[in-house]
């Protein structure tokens, strides 16, 4: 019973965990609803060329990410 509760707790925590856009690889970024492979790869490529993001709003500098998409994903990302 304790194992089941522990597993459920981990599942709930993972559902609400944010993804750090400064350390996540493209595969991890695709877990964000609205980001496919191409946009995830564009985020990683931009970060590699320009350095770490200072805020989630910096994602607007990535080709293919506009204000509407940013508002959709903003709650799922963080910047560390």
Question: Residue 61: which CATH number?
Answer: 1.10.150.280
Nearest CA among 14, 41, 47 for reference residue 29: 41
Distance of CA 80 to the CA centre of its chain: 12
> Residue 24's domain spans which residues?
19-78
- Domain total in the chain: 1
Q: Round to whole Å and give the CA distance between 22 and 55.
A: 10
Q: What is the pLDDT of residue 67?
A: 97
46 occurs within a structural domain: yes
Tell me the percentage of the chain whose pLDDT exceeds 70: 84
Does residue 13 fall inside a structural domain?
A: no
Q: Is residue 8 part of a domain?
A: no
Q: Are 62 and 4 in contact (CB under 8 A)?
A: no
Does the pLDDT value for residue 72 go beyond 60? yes
Residue 70 lies in a domain: yes
Strand ranges, E, within the chain: 19-20, 77-78
Q: What is the pLDDT of residue 13?
A: 47
pLDDT in the model for residue 16: 63
């Amino acid at each position: 019973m304790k194992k089941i509760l522990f597993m459920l707790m981990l599942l709930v925590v993972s559902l609400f965990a944010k993804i750090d856009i400064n350390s996540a690889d493209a595969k991890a970024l695709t877990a964000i609803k609205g980001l496919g492979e191409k946009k995830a790869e564009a985020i990683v490529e931009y970060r590699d060329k320009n350095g770490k993001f200072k805020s989630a709003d910096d994602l607007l500098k990535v080709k293919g990410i506009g204000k509407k998409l940013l508002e959709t994903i903003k709650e799922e990302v963080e910047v560390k």
